[in-house]
Each structure stands twice: as C-alpha cells, then as structure tokens.
C-alpha cells in the first residue's frame, strides 16, 4: 500500500471505522462475536455502468450498496454488525467523489447502526468496482433460510412490490414520476431490518431479482410449489397510477422487475397473527399473497379469476 | 441473479463450499463462531493487469489470491476459518478459465484447511476483478497487532526476503532464474500460518509491500523507531546469485520490492528462545534483523559497517 493510499483511506474512511477496525491500520479487523450468536456473512460486488451509472450521486451509490447488503441480512432475520469495503478505482475519479461517497456511508451507518471494519483500495484499469462484505448476527440456530417453506404455509411480502423496477424505468425517462417516489424507491431502497422472523417464518429472503424469480428460489430450495395470487400483491399508489400507461407491460415489470428489497417470507397459517404483529412492531406493511403446496418446485401465478398465467417480457398470457 | 449465474456458481464453486455456505443458495452464509475466539477479517481486491496478468495460469491466480489473504491472517497470528469470493467477469473469459481457477482454490483450501463461505458473481465492463474476504480465528484478545512494538524489542523475519520482487523481475525477463525458484516464490507465496506468536511477539504483520515499507507501518503504529541491520536480512541462495547482476539495484529491490509474504515481527529479547522454538515447530526459518528504539517513528537502515543509509529506486546512499 503506497503512502497516498494511507492518506486516502485515513481521510475518507477513517471516520467510518469502528473500534474493531484498529484504525484501518492493520491488515485485518479483530471482532469479538457476541456469545450465543451466529454470524451472517454476505458479499456483493457493484460495477460502474452495470449496477450504477457514472453520473449517479456518489452518496446514493454508497447508501444503495450498503442497503442492498443490509437487505440480505434482513432476509435472514439478522441484525447488522459491520462491513468491509474494497474499492478498485480509476485515476479519473476525483477525491471529491469519494468524500461524497463516504458521507453517504456515514449517513447510513448511523441510521442502521453498523460501522466499517476494514477493506482495501486499489487501482482499476476499467471502471469503479465496489465490494461490500457485510456481517450480521442472529441468535444461534435462528437464521431464516430459503429452504424451510412447507406445504400449507402462506406467502407474505412486506411493503409494496414493483416500485424498484418502475423507478428505474422512470429514471430512464420511460414513465412519469411526478413526486419522485418511484425513483427514490429505486435509488434508496429500505432494508426491512428489525422484523422479528425467528420462530414465526418458515423461510425468508429479500426480493432483489424480482418477486417471481425470488419466489422461485424459495421453491427450489424448499422443493415446494409457490402459488401467488397476483391481484393480492401490494402496489403503491404511484405504481398503480402507471397501470394504464404501461398496459400489458405493467404486471411483468412489477412482478419480475427486481430492486424491491422487500422481504418475501412463508409462514404456517397459525402464525398469521404473529407475523402481522411483528410487522406492526417494525412499522412495515405486510400482505399475504399466496400459499405453498406440494408439487413440482416452481411458482404459479393466478389472476383475479384464479386462472393460471405466465409472464414474459412482452406481457403475460394465460395457459 | 440470472439462471446462468446459478449454474456457473454451482458448477465451479459449489464443490468448494463448506456447510456454512448453505449450498451457496442463500444470500448469506451462517457461521457459528468458535466460543472464546475473536474473528479476524480482511478483504482484498485483485484487478486484472494490476495484480495479475491476463495470461497467468488461472489456478495460480486463485492460489496467490487466497494465499495473500491467508498471509494477512498469519500476520495476526490467526488460523483460517473460511472466505467469501466475489468475481466481476468480462464475457470474454471462458468457462474453462474458471474451471482451472476453481481447481486452484480447491488445492489450497485443502492445503490450508478452509472453505468457501459465499460470494457473488457479476458482469464486468473492464477486466476481471476478484475480491476475497477472509475470516480467521484467534483466541480472544490474542491477535497480534502492529501497534505493540516497544523500545528494546528485537526485530525478526521469517524465511528469506527479496525473492518476491526478484521473482517478478525474472518473470518479466529482467534477470535469469534457472531453477524457477524466484518465479515460484513470486507466483505462489507461502503464508506463514501456524507460527505461535501469542504471548511471544509484541507486534507482527506480513510483508507484502516490502520489508522497509512494512517496517515503517509497525514504526508508525507503535510510535517507535525500527533499526534494521541490512546485512542480517536473510536472502535465498538464488537471490544472492543475482547480487552482482543487479549491482546497486539489488539491495533496494530486496528490501523494498514487496511480494515476500514473510512475517515481520518484534519480540522482547527475553522471548528470543521462545520465538526460535515456535519457528522451529512451524518449520520456518527465522532471523533477527534489528532492534526497536525510542525516537521519531520510522525505519533506519544500517550497512555492514553500521553506517546509516537510505534507499531509492536507483540504489542507495549513505547519509
């Protein structure tokens, strides 16, 4: 590590470091795990012009990167503990960019209660590449996994579905977004941390790839069939306002578009009150959208009349 | 994550995953820390044509990436527990490349006793970018840090110094390397895991940036002066054979060239027998190369006659 790197790290990231980071001066962080807790670990790489645009606000890039990882913790029922950050940076990115980037991290560190544990900066020959490895904790044996859905369970989602995909489309100028709500949902997702899932949900995950695809992940991991009543899937007022504008494209975008960062979970029916209560305590909306059954692992979509249909990029069709 | 990504991950990285990785099917790994142990965490990003060459053997790229991170653990006195790997990959890198890359990881996982915990793959618009986050464990409070060196301590190094830099030069055709020893030292460093440092060393780190620069890191962190008797710094026979070839460039290359991945440590003099015994048990050579004193934080180099001198890229000069 060259002297300039030390200065760069100390200036921008020193203020973000928790005590476990040893001032970002050692090669590694030293963390005392909380006794009786399991550690939850997730790593994601974000690439310029793949996951974010070069002209996105640096503080929002930082916050979204952190929030996507926090959302992975939320999907396991964990609380955040800290994160490591590596940055491969082209020479062209100015110091002021990183000052704003670090400000964004500081904002969300405070909001979500975690600190920087360590990391690395290096040169990039291509665009900017960011990797966050996040650590969370959950009481031993109580992490919620994808493979616990059972026939007879109900399917639930937090918040509203489709805002992320519609927000991206709005940002690209494809649809109006008069109050910037959808764009905001895309740029700054809200990780659903703090929902007490242990002992209530049989499986859970965060929705990053789109509701239908992520439901498929639970179906595959749990070897069950998930049936979703699409008319029950909650949409925001702003999303519903685009229904006529987008016509047949609306439903596929909402159900498959991704970037929602809501939670998808399954619960036995006798835990319905408990999950509603947990959501109420966390101040999240929660909606029952379907049920789990035995059968070929996969996802079945039902329309308002209970007829099965399938999605495609162009729209949807009945079987 | 698209279907193709799942298949890519399952094919190449599924066999590397430990039980904590949940089959690489969840968004996160679940790890039960060993009671009474602190967790050591380090993350490094490696960029194509910055840290490795496009035509390097994929298995060696993988093994060096893992070993550089293992070396960080060795520098803290930790034992490896597992790692996360993220890959940003250009379309041009063929599947067969990753098969060989994963084989390299498998080889070193077995050799060093750790497994893959999780990670992420994504597209890259530039070259290949790899990030490894490694986890180790050390008994609570026994991690060896950089800030513990005290006036009166001796300075020690494991193995031999300079092979990494000379190996890189040999690989570039700059010097002969008839038995490929130096090239091997550059391409496949040996992390000095298993050296029992706790209670013996006052500070330690692995030498990745070059002996002098890394000694400077200990000096700064500990706020002490490190004096190195350069004639005592151990060099391999193959390194010494290049002394006449490189003339004045030899010493700066060996002392500042980096990529050694040996350990640099400080010990109180009454721990000399203990550190020799620990090195002998681990089957590492260990050599005393200097001493720690009060004074302006920094590194002083002494020649065979005990005269101070300084290094530059062009060679060295006496004060």
Rounded to the nearest angstrom, the minimum Cα separation between A96 and chain B is 22
Question: Chain-centre distance of CA A96, in angstroms?
Answer: 28
Provide DSSP, A19-40.
Answer: GGGGGG-SSSEEE-PPTTEEEE
Report percent pLDDT > 70 for chain A. Answer: 97
Check pLDDT > 90 for residue A269: yes
Q: Do B125 and A124 touch (CB under 8 A)?
A: no
Check pLDDT > 90 for residue B120: no
Mean pLDDT of A210-222: 95
So what's the pLDDT on residue B23?
72
Round the average pLDDT of chain A to a whole number and report it: 92
Give the C-alpha separation, A20 to A1, whole Å: 20
So what's the pLDDT on residue B175?
96
CATH class of A3-19+32-139: alpha beta
Fold agreement (B3-139, B154-318)? no
A209 and B CB contact within 8 Å = yes
Give the C-alpha separation, A131 to A129, whole Å: 7
So what's the pLDDT on residue A287?
98
Task: For Cα atoms A164, A170, A171, give the angle at the middle one, nearest 5 degrees.
Answer: 90
Give the C-alpha separation, B134 to B92, whole Å: 28
Report percent pLDDT > 90 for chain B. Answer: 81
A contact residues 18-37, partner B, Cβ 8 Å cutoff: 22, 25-33, 35, 37
Give the C-alpha separation, B69 to B80, whole Å: 10
Q: Do B33 and A22 touch (CB under 8 A)?
A: no
A contact residues 139-168, partner B, Cβ 8 Å cutoff: 140, 143, 145-147
3-state secondary structure of B82: strand
pLDDT single digits (tens) A158-179: 999 999 999 999 999 999 999 9
Positive or negative: CA dihedral A211, A216, A219, A222:
negative
A contact residues 253-292, partner B, Cβ 8 Å cutoff: none
Report percent pLDDT > 90 for chain A. Answer: 81
* Backbone region of residue A224 per phi and psi (left: phi > 0; alpha: psi in -120 to 50; beta: other values): beta
Give the C-alpha separation, B43 to B61, whole Å: 16
pLDDT single digits (tens) A118-150: 988 998 888 899 999 999 999 999 999 999 999
pLDDT single digits (tens) B91-106: 889 999 999 999 999 9
Q: Do B73 and A120 touch (CB under 8 A)?
A: no
Mean pLDDT of B142-166: 97
Out of B30, B124, B143, name the one closest to residue A40 (CB). B30
Strands A79-89 and A115-123: parallel
Rounded to the nearest angstrom, the minimum Cα separation between B128 and chain A is 9
Tokens coding A191: 């990780």
Give me the residues paired with residue B47 across strands.
B129
Instruction: Please state the CATH superfamily assignment of the domain spanning residues A146-305 in this structure.
Output: PurM-like C-terminal domain (3.90.650.10)
Break chain B into its structural domains and give their ranges.
Answer: 3-139, 154-318
3-state secondary structure of B306: coil
Residue of A13, A17, A45 to mutate, testing the B interface (most B Cβ within 10 Å of its Cβ): A45
Cβ within 8 Å of residue A28, ≥6 positions away? A22, A118, B40, B41, B42, B72, B73, B75, B76, B78, B136, B143
Q: Which of chain A's residues have a Cβ under 8 Å away from the Cβ of B27? A: 42, 72, 75-76, 205-206, 208
pLDDT single digits (tens) B31-57: 999 999 999 999 999 999 888 888 899
- To which residue do tokens 């002297």 refer? A3
Residue burial A85-100, b: 16+ Cβ < 10 Å; e: rest? bbbbbeeebeeebbeb
Check pLDDT > 70 for residue A1: no
Of the listed ranges A31-35, B9-13, B118-122, B229-233, the least confidently predicted one is B9-13
Q: Do A76 and B28 touch (CB under 8 A)?
A: yes
Out of A27, A37, A126, name the one closest to residue B42 (CB). A27
pLDDT single digits (tens) B214-269: 999 999 999 999 999 999 999 999 999 999 999 999 999 999 998 999 999 999 99
Task: State the CATH architecture for B3-139.
Answer: 2-Layer Sandwich (3.30)
Give the C-alpha separation, A212 to B52, whole Å: 40
Cβ within 8 Å of residue B139, ≥6 positions away? B36, B37, B38, B198
Q: Which helix (H) or strand (E) holds A11?
A: helix A3-12
pLDDT single digits (tens) A58-82: 999 999 999 999 999 999 999 999 9
Residue B82 has, within 13 A of its CA and on its CB side, a CA count of 22
Instruction: Please state the CATH superfamily assignment of the domain spanning residues B154-318 in this structure.
Output: PurM-like C-terminal domain (3.90.650.10)
Task: Please return the burial class of B162, using the count of CB atoms within 10 Å of its CB with bins 0-12, 13-18 and 19+.
Answer: buried
Check pLDDT > 80 for residue A25: no
So what's the pLDDT on residue A315?
61
Round the average pLDDT of chain B to a whole number and report it: 92
Q: Where are the alpha helices (DSSP H) in B113-200?
A: 163-171, 181-187
Check pLDDT > 90 for residue A7: no
Mean pLDDT of A40-49: 92
Q: Do A86 and B44 touch (CB under 8 A)?
A: yes
- Which stretches of B56-192 are assigned E, i.e. beta strand? 79-89, 115-123, 129-139, 154-158
pTM of the full structure? 0.91
Mean pLDDT of B195-213: 95
Q: Do A29 and B50 touch (CB under 8 A)?
A: no
Closest to B286 measured CA to CA, from B302, B262, B303, B268:
B262
Read off the pLDDT band of A314 (50, 70, 90): low
Give the C-alpha separation, B272 to B280, whole Å: 12
């Amino acid at each position: 590590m060259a002297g300039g790197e030390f200065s760069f790290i100390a200036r921008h990231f020193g203020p973000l470091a928790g005590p476990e980071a040893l001032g970002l001066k050692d090669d590694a962080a030293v963390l005392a795990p909380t006794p009786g807790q399991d550690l939850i670990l997730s790593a994601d790489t974000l690439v310029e012009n793949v996951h974010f645009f070069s002209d996105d606000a640096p503080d929002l890039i930082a916050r979204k990167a952190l929030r996507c990882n926090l959302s992975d913790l939320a999907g396991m029922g964990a609380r955040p503990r800290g994160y490591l950050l590596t940055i491969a940076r082209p020479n062209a990115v100015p110091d002021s960019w990183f000052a704003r980037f670090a400000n964004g991290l500081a904002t969300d560190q405070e909001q979500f209660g975690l600190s920087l544990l360590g990391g690395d900066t290096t040169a990039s020959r291509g665009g900017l590449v960011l990797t966050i490895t996040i650590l969370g904790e959950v009481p031993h044996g109580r992490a919620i996994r994808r493979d616990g859905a059972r026939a007879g369970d109900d399917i639930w989602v937090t918040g509203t579905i489709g805002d992320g995909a519609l927000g991206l489309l709005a940002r690209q100028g494809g649809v109006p977004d008069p109050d910037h709500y959808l764009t905001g949902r895309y740029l700054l997702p809200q990780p659903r941390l703090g929902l007490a899932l242990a002992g209530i949900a049989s499986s859970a995950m965060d929705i990053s790839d789109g509701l239908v695809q992520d439901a498929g992940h639970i179906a595959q991991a749990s070897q069950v069939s998930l049936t979703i009543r699409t008319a029950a899937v909650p949409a925001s007022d702003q999303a519903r306002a685009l229904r006529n504008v987008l016509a047949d494209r609306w439903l596929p975008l909402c159900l498959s578009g991704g970037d929602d960062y809501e939670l998808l979970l399954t619960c036995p029916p006798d835990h319905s009150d408990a999950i509603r209560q947990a959501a109420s305590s966390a101040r999240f909306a929660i909606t029952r959208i379907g049920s789990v059954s035995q059968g070929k692992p996969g996802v079945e979509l039902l329309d308002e009349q209970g007829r099965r249909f399938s999605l495609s990029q162009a729209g949807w069709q009945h079987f």
